[in-house]
Structure formats: structure tokens, C-alpha cells
A and B are shown apart, each in its own frame.
Chain A
Amino acid sequence: MSTAALDPIVLEALGRMAKEGSIKASASMSKLIGQTTAVESFAVRRAMVEEIAQTVGKPEDQITAIVLDMSGDAFGSMLLIFPETSAKNIADLLQKRPLGSTHTLTDPDISALKETGNIIAGSFLAAISNFLDLNIIESVPRISSDMLKAVIDSVLASFLEQRLEEAFVFEIQFSMGTNEGMATQHVPEIKINTHFVLLLDSKSVDKIKGILKEHPWGERR
């Protein structure tokens, strides 16, 4: 099977892994915020490195991005990108404030968002690790709130020496605060939009392609 023929398999497989990860992440988020959280929509696409920002939004859109690096059996980075409104809504939910209270993210808000990034990215990573039987270690999260393109390009820059050409972009919408189940206070349902960008170095992509070539449905174990 040629590399080109494997590409749709890689995309589909990563999509399935990420979807499973997002469902696990929503369950963890439910516990964290004390409100029902669900995955409303999910989409996956590939993007050339220079086109990632425009895949996500407008260059000067204010966003908050949480970044974790991967090491071990695969090397790369994961970016979790929230539009500013979603980031502030999450901060309100986590800090038990009325929605719309946050105008500027404070240090405790940033810590809470990092924890959110840790949960979501960790769930994705667990799904990928289990599916591919890889031991992938994640770094501590880092965060930046600024212009979309300025933030994304700054992460991409460190990959250019590795001749990275493409990335996988997952677009996920969570609904939070449906006031069901474990709800402790009334919170109107809100939609949290996020983009999850998976950047892998070329060796890691080749390794994953090799695994999927032999075990396209994850029956490696």
C-alpha cells in the first residue's frame, strides 16, 4: 500500500481516536464543572502548516491556546484553541461565577484553563496511545492568549526544522451546563467551540502509518 493510499486511513483512524478522546474528555469535564457536558459536533480535516490558522479562524481573532508537547513513542505537540468567548465561559463555569462575568483572564482563570487543556488533551492522548499501543508522555501545559495567527505560528515555528508539512485539525463543539444529572446550580446551556490541532514530527507520522497499515482498526494488542 502506498503512502498516499494510507493517508485517508490515517485521517479516519485519527478521527475515530480523537472522537473517542473527546467523549472521554466531556465525561471528565462534567465531573470538573458539576454540569452535564456532551460532544455536540465533531469534524476532522488535514491542513497544510501555513493554512492551519485560516482553518481555525481569522488571523487577528483573540483566542486562548493551551499547548502540550508529546514525547516517548511519538514526538509532537497538541494545541487546544478556544475562541476568547469560550475561554471566558469555561473560566466562569470552573470558578462558579455567573456566565459573562469574566472580562480579563486572571491567574486563577489561567490555571483553570490549563487544567481544562490537560483534561481534554490527556483524553485525546489516552485514546491515541491505547489505539496504537504507544507509550506517549505529555508535558505540562502552557498557555497564551493573543491573536490566533501569532499564537499558532509561534508553535509551528519549532516544527519547521523537522520539515513538517501537514497537521490534523479537529473541530469540536461541547455543550455544557445542561443542568442535568449532577448539576448543583442552574446554568444555561452554552456551546464551547474548540479546535484541537495535532502536530507530529515526520518519524512519528511514519510510525503511525506503519501501525495502521498492519492494524487499521486498532487490533494491534
Chain B
Amino acid sequence: MADTQIIHVQTADMQVGEQDQLLQSTGIGSCIVITLYDTQKKIGALAHAMVERPKNITPSPTPSLRYIEDAIDAMLVALKALGVQKQNLVAKLFGGAHMFKVFDSKTKGVGAQNIAAAHTKLQQEGITIVSNDTGGNVGRTVLFDLSTGTVKITTLV
């Protein structure tokens, strides 16, 4: 682990990496972190997206890594450039928490909408979600180990 490099992924950002690298994203609340991993090549990507792509807005917003669907598209493009085939990828999801009751008046909170949007997009892409730690009302930090595909989650509580 001495040579392991940690790559920090900010909000509305995405990074790819390979064996001997760790991808980390901190302070995930209602946002969604998606990890994609090729277990054979030991190459993966992590995106920290904020919301689903707005619907019914004219003109449609330009693509942005803020949006879950665009972030997943960007991950797939970056992984393809490294020779990864989509059918070899597995996904994990983190976040989508309900940090305030502020959004209870909506039919569902931003966190729950984000979880649903990520599931829908990954299903459309034919990528299996092998595990997730989503929902609740706690902030999370995730550390994605690209040598194993495991993800370590830490919280303040």
C-alpha cells in the first residue's frame, strides 16, 4: 500500500483510476456517488453527482457532471477509452441521504430522487448494482480501492 495514490473526487466531478489507486469522495449528503469497476482489469471510476438531470426545462441544460445521468455517461466514455467494456462493469451506489426534513413537503426528497435516478440510468445501461449504502440521514465519505473494488464508508455517527 506504500505506493497507493489517493485521488480526490469533488462534487460534480468524476475520476477514473486503476490498481494501486484509491478514489475518495468526502461529505456525501443527498448527492449520489456511483462507482463502476471492472474486476478483471481492475480499472474503475467514481462520480459524485448532485441531482438527476432536470426534466421539462427549455432549453435543456448543457451536460454537466452535476447531473447523475451525465456523470454516468462520462464515466462510461472514460472507461471505454481505457479499454473497459460496459458488460464487464459492476456498480455500487452511496449517498442519497435525507439531511434535512426541509424537503419533506415534496413527494420525495432530493436524496430519494437521486437514488431512483441512478438505479434507472444504470438499468438502462445494463449495469448491475452489486451493493449500495444509500438513504438514511447521515453524511458519508467513501474510499474506493481499485485493487479490490471494495469501498470503505465512514460517517461521523
Contacts and interface: CB of A to CB of B under 8 A. Distances in A.
A69 B106 CA distance: 14
A154 B97 CA distance: 8
A151 interface: yes
A153 B11 contact: yes
Interface stretch (A126-134, A157-165, A179-187, A203-211): A157-165
Contacts of A148: 27
Contacts of B28: 149-150, 153
B143 interface: no
Contacts of A60: 26-27, 139, 141, 156
B57 interface: yes
B51 A154 contact: no
Contacts of A142: 100-102
B156 A153 contact: no
Contact of B110 (A53, A151, A157): A157
Given A153-B50, A157-B31, A160-B66, A146 B11 contact: no
Contacts of B100: 67, 142-144, 151, 154-155
Given A149-B11, A150-B97, A155-B100, A160 B29 contact: no
A148 B139 CA distance: 9
Q: How many A residues are at the interface, by size bracket?
A: 20 to 34
B27 A160 contact: no
A113 B74 CA distance: 42
Given A146-B29, A160-B66, 15 more contacts: A53-B11, A60-B139, A60-B141, A142-B102, A144-B100, A146-B157, A150-B29, A150-B30, A150-B140, A151-B29, A153-B27, A154-B110, A154-B111, A156-B50, A157-B110
B40 to A, nearest CB: 33
B5 to A, nearest CB: 19
A221 B74 CA distance: 52
Contacts of A69: 102
B99 interface: yes
